[in-house]
């Protein structure tokens, strides 16, 4: 939530790195109330680098930008930990889980207006599964023939490295996600705005804009949170943090601390078993 503090955030241009899975898995916000639209979510994260691109970079900062904002995957782990279709509406296995067919959601468009087709999925997956035979079966069906059986393929395809990109611009920040890219500075900032219409309308994507700010120093992340310049941040286990009554701290399994404003809300029973699900805070949280 911006609350007129953007100028303060802009003056801290030293915010330059990002990420922590625990932040995005935090359960410090209350649940049980209906989501409502509006506001700007500002996340201060660690782990980004100036070499990050929309294709390269494994820190959570760029991964949150990819999977939680700009791109979609064929499947997703829902907030309750259950695997479901995202760009895929269904899938079937044969030959002992060696052959798979995925059915795609119709009428999905990339942020540049081009329609999602099976050719986009084929071009994307061929880059990350080079030893696999992947073919388009018409416009909305994809056939995957694995070199060996894998019953876990649908779960695998929910991971961030399998986000679906347009075949005509695979390296650009053009996806089918809830948020359209407006500004990207590698290792520093991502700013994105909610698309006007999306197939997830009414179920996710409650913020008007989302801003990821990369902060390499944990003390500066703590300071940014304590001064109200950001809404959430990942902190070390024993942060030098000026306590505030409207911020929730929660220890995580990695030995760090998740911290988020009490203004933030999230769905009940958030997924806690699948790390890839933790990337989706921007599309699932809201201000309450």
Ranges of the chain whose pLDDT falls below 50: 1-31, 271, 273-276
Closest CA to 239 of 63, 17, 46: 46
Can you give the pLDDT at residue 254?
61
Q: Are the C-beta atoms of 210 and 287 separated by less than 8 Å? A: no
Can you give the pLDDT at residue 276?
38
DSSP string, 27-96: --S--SS------EEEEEE----TT--SSS--SHHHHHHIIIII---SEEE-TTS-EEESSEEEEEEETT
Q: Which class for 72: exposed (0-12), middle (13-18), buried (19 or more C-beta within 10 A)?
A: buried
Can you give the pLDDT at residue 278?
64
Can you give the pLDDT at residue 275?
39
Distance CA 106, CA 108 (A): 6
Q: What is the pLDDT of residues 188-247, one digit of tens each?
A: 999 999 999 999 999 999 999 999 999 998 888 888 888 889 998 877 666 555 566 677
- Tally DSSP H helices, then E strands, for the chain: 7, 15
Domains and CATH numbers, the chain: 6-71+177-287 (3.40.190.10), 83-162 (3.90.76.10)
């Amino acid at each position: 939530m911006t609350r007129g503090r953007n100028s303060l955030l802009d003056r801290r241009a030293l915010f330059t790195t990002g990420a922590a899975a625990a932040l995005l898995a935090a359960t410090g916000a209350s649940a049980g109330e209906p989501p409502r639209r509006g506001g700007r979510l500002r996340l201060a994260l660690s782990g980004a680098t100036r070499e990050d691109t929309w294709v390269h970079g494994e820190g959570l900062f760029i991964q949150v930008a990819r999977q939680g904002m700009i791109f979609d995957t064929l499947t997703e782990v829902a907030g309750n930990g259950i695997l479901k279709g995202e760009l895929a509406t269904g899938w079937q296995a044969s030959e002992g889980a060696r052959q798979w067919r995925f059915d795609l959601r119709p009428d999905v468009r990339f942020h540049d207006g081009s329609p999602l087709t099976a050719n986009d999925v084929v071009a994307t997956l061929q880059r990350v599964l080079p030893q696999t035979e992947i073919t388009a079966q018409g416009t909305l069906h994809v056939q995957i023939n694995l070199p060996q059986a894998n019953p876990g393929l649908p779960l695998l395809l929910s991971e961030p490295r399998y986000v679906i990109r347009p075949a005509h611009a695979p390296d650009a920040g053009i996806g089918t996600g809830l948020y359209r890219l407006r500004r990207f500075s590698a290792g520093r900032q991502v700013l994105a705005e909610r698309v006007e219409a999306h197939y997830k309308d009414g179920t996710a994507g409650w913020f008007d804009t989302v801003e990821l700010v990369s902060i390499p120093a944990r003390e500066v992340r703590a300071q940014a949170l304590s001064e109200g310049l950001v809404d959430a941040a990942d902190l070390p286990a024993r942060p030098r943090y000026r306590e505030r009554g409207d911020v929730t701290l929660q220890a995580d399994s990695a030995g760090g601390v998740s911290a988020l404003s009490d203004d933030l809300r999230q769905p009940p029973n958030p997924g806690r078993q699948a790390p890839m699900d933790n990337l989706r805070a921007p599309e699932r949280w809201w201000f309450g």
